[in-house]
């Protein structure tokens, strides 16, 4: 009996061993993979939506969670927040009170090569680029055919999406070019896993311009149905930006191009909204003036960056400002005006109507003190009918990355810089803004007053805190050097001269280590 | 599959070549008998009995049988480590059976103790790795909730860090940290069951506290730690941080009931040093403005006094155990209820355990089962209680009868004002329940056709179900000030891990060359399946349901995550022993893990160790007092796979309903490709250990000294990648190398010998030094430093760094210039011209006024930080003393750390007058009285404090007596009796990473208990 049992036991044991296997095949179940994701045709839409959301939120969970980029606080890492900080803080427009590592230096142009906000922006730019490239790789004719996605409606939709992906890639490349100059240029032809080479600014510029011109016909038409998406108007606007700054980027000016592109925008279906501040409120998606927004929604598009940051950080908690009147739950006490920005505004200009002066000084004696510097809650989470937004922490207010007024001012500037066009038209455009600003003709200027200096100041008034200032000052040759100094430029309250290499931000030190193809910008 | 066939083929071949007992040409005899201990008369198992070239090992009952002894006279030898060799002449005639019983005289019997190792056991004296076993009588006494605490300070090189909360998470570092980015927990093997493999090496799922809380420490017989690579490598992929083997108690002798019960009371030892009401008022009057000053009231509230409590606890353990001829069994149940020293903290455990062993088929088959199940109910002190107790103004009252909640809150509902911690305690809920059962069925079968060959099978399961509910009502200040409304979070998660192991053991029944050979070889298959959904509703329409039901909500987030992993292993070991004098062990393991891409799934982990017992050599005979001297060498490679699943897959992650993009009037949920790394490969740790074991005077004084170095290569870390290289800027990748080096000393002495009824004193000492260094970060990794150590204060403030040439997690701070009085200076010294110091005060106090310009570029920015000390103790010293006198016992354990540093984050975050200029002023840390900071200086080295300490971990007094013939033991213990330290924060053992940020305070626990047997 025992013998039989023991043999049976031995046999069973060996069988168990033999039945066991070495199969390690385990695949994700609650996430989708590249194998199955495009079985659902809706995935294309979700993917292009992500590239847009890359500008608006910080990750796959709102307001935070599953961040897109790492190594920096997720709220800090948000694209628009970084973009805004890099355009406004080192210029004459804004100071931020907080002492977070790397942030105070942004107020003063004293950033370290390792500055984490500068690095964050660099990685945001390339995150968008890589997403767009991946989208383009996944939506080629060959791939669509291979998956049997041949319906003409879907093909038409994807043609638009592809153009939009290329627009978003061009937009980020423009930001990269503007901030960093010599950057790598990756397209959908570059497979992942290779270290990209560095390109000259001219090469990047040429690529972006050719991309934009190539997609103009494929982009969706402007209108309420495509609000939030890139249209031909947005592409023309971006072209105008590139051409206007062409001399900075490539050494060769192209003001004619700038004027032409700006004219194309102006010829589009856009018009000035009658009330200036309505461009910056919780219902600004209804403004006919906005050409390309970064959209926000208190319930459905949430982040700790973008407009949540811009609105909360503009409000103090200790100075009598009432957060409720801006539709939010509290102020973060962060950003306010540098005195030079405040002093641009004349009496009667309603574009400064939202400034909050009680308990604030005009001068900024201490960067860390919110009450030093005038508060400027330009953006607000209440609607044009004074109703609060849908949520008191996360806001409904969209960011007008491109709006018509900017096209007017670019037209006038391109004209003054020799780009052709018509002097009367230029003056009319500027006065259109002035009339709206003053509510009557008191602000109207006459032809001799329309100078380049006037345009720079007018841009400072009209486009205050809309993330244009550093770019404008560089084009005017005033961002660095001693031609124009402002409070805290170079690290002192009086302001001083700064070296020219600061016109470009440093390429993050880690990039230089990890990618031997790269060399640092001069001066760093 | 093919691989497996080869392997099994090899095993079978091994069995076949094993020669059967020698066939004699002429009639032979049989010798049998029993080997016993001369002093105790107890049988000795595992003794080697040889005649000529034939040898056998005695069974559990001490019996042996040698077959086929040729006729003639010969010498019968019986040998057992720790005993004097016995040689006895015998004379056998052909065909008869001789009975020879042998009594051995012990000279160092501790060497013959059985120590559990990976897939086997070994005599203490024959161990060639760095292995320490601690048994129940040496365990730390008092209120112990989790197994790890039992061996704190008992084993050199094993650094155990609890988080002070009852049942809270415990980290173990064996010989320093073995990794930076993957899991650092050792592998726990409970009764042969590797637990928590789903998460890498150790742990498992729980509702928030230590996953090992399911195990009742009272059921544990021994805990063995495999510290070095050579002993741990048989567990390959999970062994890089060492292996902790836990054996539970089983029955002995006649059936016996046992009861032990304790009651305890815990009190808080130290709290953050905040300003009192008068100091706070003075600070607000000096630095606040009228907005803040007008808010001050006239109360005198010590907020910490209101949130802490005396934590009472009780524990009852009941077991019944026994053994018979064939069956050994133990059934136990335990109940523990322990309140924390913060209000609302509680842990309740109900546990059940069964161990059963049965021998059958002429003792050829041993069947064992170990089953343990428990329900752990956790109540957590809701989040924010400690930080708000620190921040809340002491001039403000706790209660306000006019408020809707009855609790006082700062006026104005400001976003930045602190919340009343008492209101949080009263209204918010945070609780979890964990059901966990771990069990196995093991069979060991001595195969009938080959003597010495044993087949083993081990089928194990580990099932956990946990529920966690966090409820925050809408009326709480934290919710009203943000307008978020009430919120209800629940997670209902489950995990099933199962393991199948089969292995053959072959104790070669004859001498191979001059020594004995033991072989082990086998196969292991583990898999894990987990389902982790969670649900978060915020903006609840009503608080009435209190987290027990689902109320409609403004925002509902749902998430479900399914995780599966597998680990397949082949392992083998050969032990070779020449007369207990020359010892060698060779092991290998080949592991395949589902966590790596197809090209890198398999890793090989070999190990070799050698031992030379010098004390067995004849030239040592004249050193009479020497009872043991052994040199050990070990080399081994271990692996680490404690990284998240699926990193090699190109996955797409869906966005939630709050991260959508707007297309016209529509909102489109998003989807993004995730970063992935198809080439991610094993992290491997190679270690070398040199050791010496020594014993004098029959082991009255014994100990060991070890030197080791271990180098971890291909460190797996979520690390930056150059832009454009992959999707995203971080990915799991192999980025660098790290080294730990150190020495360990263990010394045990029976300082006063056990004369009859007299005073007996045993003293144990341990000392361990470890130094850690990050050796390199691969140049292609795109970084030379990785910031770690996120602290409170500012946003995204990282205070530590991984940098080649420095210990990992070194603090990364500015060097604060000190004044002549030693205080950090805080004055305006210089302004800037063109971004460079100009030496002229500019009216504001900035970084440039305070810190040393490390890189000499005449400006202070983040490039001027430098690595400055690190949190790991350089030396860990332990001392335990055990005194007995008659029925009286007195034990205590002392512990000291030298050279550990802690970042005092409460001081850095609240030690600045800027905090009173909040909308409603925060209370300040008392360090502000010394520093006068009016702006926060998070990155100042002033906050990095040396935290060396000496602590009396426990003192126990006990009295044992007989009551009506039954043994009774009454005892009392004080844990954390006192701590001597220069550190100013709450606790110098502030977590593994040395960040003291409103950590759970340490408690001093008084326990009294009674144990009876009948």
What is B683-709 written as a DSSP string?
EEEEEEEEEEEEEETTTTEEEEEEEEE
Q: What pLDDT shows up at residue A95? A: 97
pLDDT reported for residue B198: 62
- pLDDT tens across B976-1013, in order? 999 999 999 999 998 889 999 999 999 999 999 999 99
Q: How many CA atoms lie within 13 A of A269 on its CB side?
A: 10
CA dihedral A471, A477, A478, A479 (to 10 degrees): 40
Residue A520 to chain B, least CA–CA distance (Å): 14
* Residue B935 token pair: 């702006």
User: Which residue is associated with the tokens 């090209």?
Assistant: B599
Q: Given the DSSP bridges, would you call strands B683-696 and B626-640 parallel, antiparallel or unpaired?
A: antiparallel
Task: Cite the DSSP H helix spans in A278-369.
Answer: 306-313, 339-342
- Would you call A10 an interface residue with chain B, using a CB distance cutoff of 8 Å? yes
Query: Which one-letter DSSP state was computed for residue A421?
Result: S
**Is A384's Cβ below 8 Å from some Cβ in B?**
no
Residue B17: partners with Cβ closer than 8 Å, 6 or more residues away: none
> Any CB–CB contact under 8 A between A278 and chain B?
no
Of the candidates B481, B525, B654, the beta carbon closest to that of A60 is on B654
> Cβ B646–A28 below 8 Å, yes or no?
yes
Residue-wise DSSP of B106-119: BSSGGGG-EEEETT
Adjacent-strand bridge partners of B800: B788, B811
Residue A30, classified by CB atoms within 10 Å of its CB into exposed (0-12), middle (13-18) or buried (19+), is middle
Give the integer Cα–Cα distance in Å for B692 and B130.
Answer: 10
Contacts A322 to B, Cβ<8 Å: none
* A464 or B196, which is more confident: A464
Handedness of CA A224, A226, A232, A238 (dihedral sign): positive
> Cβ of A300 under 8 Å from any chain B Cβ?
yes
Nearest Cα residue in chain A from B593: A24
Of B523, B796, B848, the CB nearest to A72: B796
Give me the residues paired with residue B463 across strands.
B437, B496
Subunit contact A330:B650, Cβ cutoff 8 A: no
As a whole number of angstroms, the longest Cα–Cα distance in chain A is 117
pTM for this model (two decimals): 0.88
Q: What percent of chain B has pLDDT over 90?
A: 61
pLDDT for res B807:
95
Cis status of the peptide bond prior to A63, with omega within 30 of 0 = yes
Query: Is A105:B861 a contact under the CB 8 Å cutoff?
Result: yes
Q: What's the rounded Cα separation, in Å, for the pair B261 and B335?
A: 9
Asked if the model's pLDDT at residue B16 lies above 70, the reply is no
Largest distance between two CA atoms of chain B: 112
Please, what is the average pLDDT of chain B? Answer: 90
CA neighbor of B284 nearest in space, from B907, B917, B911:
B917
Strands B516-540 and B28-37: unpaired
- Torsion angle in degrees (nearest 10) through CA of B447, B451, B455, B456: 120
d(C-alpha B767, C-alpha A180), whole Å? 54
Which residue in the block uniquely carries the two structure tokens 């093997």? B189
Residues in chain B: 1014
Nearest-angstrom CA–CA distance, B574 and B518: 6
Convert B548-565 to b/e letters by CB count within 10 Å (16 or more is b).
eeebebbbebebeeebbb
Find the range with the poorest average confidence among B395-399, B580-584, B615-619: B615-619
What are phi and psi for residue A42, nearest 5 degrees?
-65, -15
- Is the pLDDT confidence value at B250 over 60? yes
Q: Where are the alpha helices (DSSP H) in A101-231?
A: 104-108, 116-138, 141-146, 152-180, 201-215
Q: With H, G, I as helix, E, B as strand and everything else as coil, classify residue B30.
A: strand
Are the C-beta atoms of B470 and B461 separated by less than 8 Å?
A: no
Residue of B nearest to A371 (CA): B917
Q: What is the mean pLDDT of each run of 10 residues along chain A (524 residues)?
A: 60 58 81 85 95 97 91 93 98 93 91 91 96 95 93 95 98 98 94 89 98 97 94 97 98 97 96 96 96 96 96 90 92 95 95 95 91 96 95 95 98 97 96 96 95 98 98 97 94 91 93 90 92
pLDDT for B19 beyond 70: no
Is residue B118 over pLDDT 60? Answer: yes
CB-based contact (8 Å) between A481 and chain B?
Answer: no
Q: pLDDT tens-digit profile of B480-519?
A: 888 788 999 999 999 999 999 999 999 888 888 888 899 9
CA dihedral B223, B224, B227, B230 (to 10 degrees): -160
Site from A37, A99, A123 to mutate, B interface, most B CB atoms within 10 angstroms: A99
Q: How far is A438 from chain B (nearest CA, A)?
A: 32
Cβ neighbour number for residue A271 with a 10 Å cutoff: 12
Measured CA to CA, the distance from residue A112 to residue B156 in angstroms comes to: 44
Say if residues B634 and B623 touch (Cβ distance below 8 Å): no
User: Taking the CA of residue B35 as centre, how many other CA atoms within 13 Å lie in the half-sphere pointing to its CB?
Assistant: 30
**Beta strand ranges found along B697-843 (DSSP E):** 701-713, 716-720, 730-734, 736-752, 759-777, 786-791, 797-802, 810-813, 832-833, 836-837
Extract the tokens encoding B625.
């007092």
How many residues in chain A?
Answer: 524
A24 with B568: Cβ contact below 8 A? yes
The confidence score (pLDDT) of residue A12 equals 62
CA distances for A57 relative to A188, B387, B654, angstroms = 24, 29, 14
Exposure on the CB side of residue B822, measured as CA atoms within 13 A: 0
A239, containing H or E segment = helix A232-244
Chain A window 70-99: which residues touch B at a Cβ cutoff of 8 Å?
A: 70-73, 75-76, 98-99
**Residue B326 token pair:** 């064939």
| Mean pLDDT, range B254-275, rounded to an integer | 94
CB < 8 Å to A513, chain B: 779, 781-784
**For residue A229, which of A299, A301, A164 has the smallest C-alpha distance?**
A164
Paired tokens of B851: 């810190």
Nearest Cβ partner of B658 from A130, A227, A300?
A: A300
Nearest to B994 by CA among B870, B866, B877, B867: B870
Q: CA-based angle A39:A42:A44, to the nearest 5?
A: 85
A453 touches chain B (CB under 8 A): no
Q: How far apart are CA B158 and CA B153, in angstroms?
A: 8
Enumerate residues 389 to 428 of chain A having a beta carbon within 8 A of any beta carbon in chain B: 391-394
Distance from CA of B456 to the nearest CA of A (A): 8
B214's tokens: 């399911």
Q: In sequence order, what are the beta bridge partners of B1004? A: B267
Task: Identify which of B414, B664, B834 has the shortest CB distance to residue A227.
Answer: B664
Q: Is the ipTM of this complex over 0.90?
A: yes
Cβ distance of B795 and A192 shorter than 8 Å: no
What is the least distance, in Å, from the CA of B129 to any CA of chain A?
30
Task: Tell me chain A's radius of gyration from C-alpha atoms.
Answer: 26
A16 — contact with chain B (CB < 8 Å)? yes
**Burial per residue of A233-257, b for 16 or more beta-carbon CB atoms within 10 angstroms, e otherwise:** bbbbbbbbbbbbbbebbbeebbbeb
Query: How close, in Å, is residue B203 to chain A by CA atoms?
Result: 22
Nearest Cβ partner for A32 among B652, B780, B784: B652
Q: Does A33 sit within 8 Å of B649, measured CB to CB?
A: yes
Helix (H, G, I), strand (E, B) or coil at A54: helix
Please say whether the beta carbons of B818 and B824 come within 8 A.
Answer: yes
Pairing mode of beta strands B28-37, B256-268: unpaired
Residues 6+ apart with CB under 8 A from B695: B108, B110, B111, B615, B626, B627, B628, B629, B701, B702, B703
B733-788 confidence digits (pLDDT tens): 888 899 999 999 999 999 887 666 789 999 999 999 999 999 998 877 667 788 88
Our CA angle for B641, B642, B643, nearest 5°, is 95
CB B204 within 8 A of CB B196: yes
DSSP conformational letter for A63: S
What is residue B838's DSSP assignment? -
Task: Please tell me if residue A488 touches chain B, with a CB cutoff of 8 Å.
Answer: no
C-alpha B839/C-alpha B831 separation (Å) is 6
A-chain CB neighbours of B859 within 8 Å are 110, 491
The closest CB to that of A100, out of B455, B729, B797, belongs to B797
Query: Which pLDDT score, from 0 to 100, does residue A9 have?
Result: 61
Are B877 and B898 in contact by the 8 Å Cβ rule? The answer is yes
Reading the block at residue B338, the tokens are 């322990």
CB B70 within 8 A of CB B99: no
The contacts of residue B822 (CB under 8 Å, 6+ apart) are none
Handedness of CA B827, B831, B837, B840 (dihedral sign): negative
Among the listed residues A46, A50, A48, the one whose alpha carbon sits nearest the alpha carbon of residue A37: A46
Touching B: A residues 344-373, CB under 8 Å: 365-368
Are residues A46 and B668 in contact, defined by beta-carbon separation less than 8 angstroms? yes
Kindly determine whether residue A10 and residue B843, on different chains, have CB atoms separated by under 8 Å: no
Cβ proximity of A344 and A460 under 8 Å: yes
């Amino acid at each position: 009996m025992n013998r039989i049992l023991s043999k049976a036991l031995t046999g069973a044991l060996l069988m168990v061993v033999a039945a066991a296997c070495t199969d390690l095949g385990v695949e994700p179940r609650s996430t989708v993979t590249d194998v199955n994701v495009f079985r659902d045709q809706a995935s294309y839409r979700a993917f292009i939506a992500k590239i847009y959301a890359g500008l608006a939120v910080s990750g796959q969970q709102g307001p935070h969670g599953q961040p897109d980029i790492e190594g920096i606080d997720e709220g800090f890492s948000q694209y628009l927040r970084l973009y805004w900080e890099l355009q406004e803080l080192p210029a004459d427009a804004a100071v931020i009170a907080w002492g977070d590592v790397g942030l105070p230096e942004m107020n003063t142009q004293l950033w370290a090569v390792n500055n984490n906000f500068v690095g964050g922006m660099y990685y945001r730019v390339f995150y968008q680029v890589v997403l767009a490239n991946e989208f383009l790789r996944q939506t080629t004719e060959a791939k669509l055919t291979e998956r049997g996605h041949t319906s003409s409606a879907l093909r038409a939709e994807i043609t638009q999406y592809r153009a939009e992906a290329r627009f978003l890639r061009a937009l980020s490349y423009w930001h990269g070019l503007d901030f960093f100059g010599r950057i790598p240029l990756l397209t959908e032809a570059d497979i992942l896993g290779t270290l990209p080479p560095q390109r000259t600014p001219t090469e990047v510029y040429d690529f972006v311009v050719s991309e934009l011109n190539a997609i103009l016909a494929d982009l969706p038409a402007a209108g309420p149905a495509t609000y939030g998406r890139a249209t031909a108007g947005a592409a023309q606007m971006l072209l105008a930006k590139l051409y206007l700054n062409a001399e900075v980027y490539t050494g060769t000016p192209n003001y004619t191009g700038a004027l032409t592109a700006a004219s194309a925008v102006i010829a589009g279906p856009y018009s000035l909204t009658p009330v200036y501040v309505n461009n910056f409120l919780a219902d600004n998606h209804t403004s006919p003036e906005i050409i390309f927004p970064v959209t926000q929604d208190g319930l459905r598009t949430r982040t700790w960056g973008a407009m949540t940051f811009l609105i909360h950080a503009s409000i103090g908690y200790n100075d009598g400002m009432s957060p409720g009147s801006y539709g939010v739950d509290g102020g973060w006490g962060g950003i306010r005006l540098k005195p030079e920005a405040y002093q641009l505004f004349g009496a009667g200009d309603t574009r400064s109507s939202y400034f909050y002066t009680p308990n604030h000084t005009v001068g900024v004696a201490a960067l860390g003190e919110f009450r030093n510097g005038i508060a400027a809650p330009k953006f607000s989470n209440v609607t044009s009918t004074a109703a609060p937004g849908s949520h008191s922490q996360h806001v409904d207010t969209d960011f007008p990355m491109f709006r018509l007024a900017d096209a007017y001012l670019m037209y006038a500037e391109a004209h003054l810089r020799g780009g052709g066009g018509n002097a009367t038209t230029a003056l009319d455009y500027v006065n259109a803004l002035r009339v709206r600003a003053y509510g009557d003709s008191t602000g109207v200027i006459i032809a001799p007053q329309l100078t380049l200096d006037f345009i720079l100041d007018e841009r400072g008034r009209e486009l205050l805190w809309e993330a244009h200032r550093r770019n404008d000052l560089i084009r005017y040759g005033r961002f660095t050097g001693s031609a124009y100094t402002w409070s805290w430029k170079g690290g002192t309250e009086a302001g001083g001269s700064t070296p020219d290499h600061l016109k470009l931000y440093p390429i993050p030190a880690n990039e230089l280590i990890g990618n031997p193809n790269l060399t640092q910008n001069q001066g760093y | 599959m093919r691989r497996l066939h080869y392997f099994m083929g090899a095993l079978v071949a091994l069995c076949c070549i094993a020669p059967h007992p020698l066939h004699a040409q002429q009639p032979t005899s049989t010798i049998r008998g029993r080997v016993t201990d001369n002093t105790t008369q107890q049988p000795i198992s595992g003794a080697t009995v040889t005649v000529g070239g034939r040898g056998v090992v005695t069974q559990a009952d001490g019996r042996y049988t040698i077959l086929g002894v040729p006729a003639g006279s010969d010498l019968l030898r019986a040998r057992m480590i720790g005993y004097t060799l016995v040689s006895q002449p015998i004379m056998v005639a052909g065909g008869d059976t001789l009975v020879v019983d042998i009594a051995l005289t012990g000279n160092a019997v501790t060497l013959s103790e059985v120590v559990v190792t990976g897939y086997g056991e070994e005599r203490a004296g024959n161990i060639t790795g760095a292995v320490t076993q601690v048994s129940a009588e040496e365990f730390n006494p008092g209120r112990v909730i989790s197994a790890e605490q039992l061996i704190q300070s008992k084993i050199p090189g094993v650094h155990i860090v609890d988080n002070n909360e009852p049942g809270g998470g415990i980290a173990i570092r064996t010989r320093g940290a073995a990794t930076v980015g993957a899991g650092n927990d050792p592998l726990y093997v409970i009764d042969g069951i590797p637990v928590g493999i789903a998460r890498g090496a150790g742990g498992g799922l729980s509702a928030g506290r230590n996953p090992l809380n399911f195990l009742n420490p009272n059921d544990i017989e021994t805990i063995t730690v495999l510290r070095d690579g050579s002993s741990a490598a048989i567990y390959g992929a999970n062994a890089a941080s060492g292996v902790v083997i836990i054996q539970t108690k089983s029955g002995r002798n006649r059936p016996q009931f046992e009861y032990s019960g304790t009651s305890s009371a815990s009190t808080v030892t130290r709290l953050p040093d905040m300003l009192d009401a008068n100091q706070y008022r003075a600070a607000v009057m000096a630095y606040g403005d009228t907005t803040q000053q007008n808010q001050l009231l006239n109360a005198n509230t010590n907020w910490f006094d209101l949130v802490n409590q005396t934590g009472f606890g009780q524990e009852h353990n009941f077991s019944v155990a026994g053994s018979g001829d064939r069956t050994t069994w133990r059934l136990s149940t335990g109940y523990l209820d322990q309140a924390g020293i913060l209000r609302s903290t509680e842990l309740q455990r109900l546990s059940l355990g069964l161990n059963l062993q049965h021998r059958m088929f002429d003792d050829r088959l041993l069947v064992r089962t170990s089953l343990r199940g428990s329900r752990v109910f956790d109540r957590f002190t809701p989040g924010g209680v400690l930080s708000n107790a620190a921040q809340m103004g002491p001039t403000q009252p706790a209660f306000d009868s006019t408020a809707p909640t009855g609790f006082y809150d700062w006026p104005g509902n400001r976003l930045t004002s602190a919340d009343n911690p008492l209101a949080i305690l009263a209204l918010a809920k945070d609780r979890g329940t964990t059901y966990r059962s771990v069990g196995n069925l093991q069979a060991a079968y001595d195969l009938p056709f080959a003597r010495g060959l044993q087949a083993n099978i081990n089928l194990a399961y580990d099932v956990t179900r946990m529920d966690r509910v966090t409820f925050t009502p809408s009326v709480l200040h934290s919710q009203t000030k943000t307008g978020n409304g009430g919120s209800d979070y629940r997670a209902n998660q489950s995990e099933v891990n199962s393991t199948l192991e089969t292995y053959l053991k072959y104790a070669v029944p004859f001498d191979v060359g001059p020594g004995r050979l033991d072989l082990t070889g086998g196969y292991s298959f583990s898999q894990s399946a987990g389902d982790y959904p969670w649900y978060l509703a915020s903006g609840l329409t009503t608080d009435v349901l209190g987290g027990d039901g689902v109320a409609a909500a403004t925002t509902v987030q749902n998430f479900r995550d399914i995780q599966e992993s597998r680990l397949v292993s082949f392992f083998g070991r050969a032990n070779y022993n020449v007369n207990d004098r020359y010892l060698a062990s060779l092991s290998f393991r080949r592991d395949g893990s589902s966590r790596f891409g197809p090209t890198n799934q398999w890793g090989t982990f070999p190990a070799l160790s050698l031992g030379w017992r010098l004390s067995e050599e004849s030239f040592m005979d004249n050193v009479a007092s020497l009872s043991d001297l052994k040199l050990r060498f070990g080399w081994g490679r271990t692996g680490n796979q404690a990284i998240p699943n699926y990193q090699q897959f190109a996955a797409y992650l869906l966005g939630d309903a709050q991260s959508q993009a707007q297309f016209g009037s529509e909102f489109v949920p998003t989807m993004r490709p995730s970063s992935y790394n198809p080439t991610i490969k094993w992290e491997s740790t190679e270690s070398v250990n040199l050791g010496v074991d020594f014993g004098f005077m029959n082991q009255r004084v014994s100990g060991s000294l070890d030197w080791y170095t271990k180098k971890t290569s291909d460190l797996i870390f979520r690390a930056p990648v150059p832009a454009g290289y992959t999707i995203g800027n971080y990915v799991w990748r192999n980025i660098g190398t790290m080294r730990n080096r150190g020495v360990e000393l263990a010394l045990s002495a029976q300082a006063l010998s056990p004369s009859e009824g007299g005073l007996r004193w045993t003293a144990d000492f341990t000392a361990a030094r470890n130094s850690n260094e990050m050796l390199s970060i691969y140049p292609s990794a795109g970084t030379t430093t990785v910031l770690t150590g996120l602290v409170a204060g500012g946003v995204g403030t990282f205070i530590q760094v991984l940098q080649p040439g420095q210990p990992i997690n070194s603090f990364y701070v500015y060097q604060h210039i000190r004044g002549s009085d030693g205080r950090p200076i805080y004055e305006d010294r210089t302004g800037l011209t063109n971004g460079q110091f100009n030496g002229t005060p500019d009216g504001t106090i900035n970084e440039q006024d305070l810190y040393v310009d490390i890189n000499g570029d005449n400006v202070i920015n983040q490039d001027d930080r430098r690595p400055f000390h690190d949190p790991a103790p350089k030396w860990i010293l332990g001392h335990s003393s055990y005194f007995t006198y008659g029925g009286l016992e007195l034990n205590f354990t002392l512990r000291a750390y030298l050279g550990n540093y802690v970042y005092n984050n409460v001081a850095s975050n609240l030690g600045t007058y800027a905090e009173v200029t909040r909308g409603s002023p925060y209370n300040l840390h008392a360090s502000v009285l010394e520093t006068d900071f009016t702006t926060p200086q998070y990155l100042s080295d002033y906050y990095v404090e040396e935290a060396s300490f000496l602590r009396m971990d426990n003192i126990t007094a006990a009295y044992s007596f007989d009551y009506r013939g039954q043994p009774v033991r009454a005892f009392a213990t004080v844990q954390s009796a006192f701590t001597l330290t220069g550190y100013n924060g709450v606790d110098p053992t502030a977590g593994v990473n040395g960040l003291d940020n409103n950590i759970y305070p340490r408690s001093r626990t008084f326990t009294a208990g009674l144990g009876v047997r009948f």
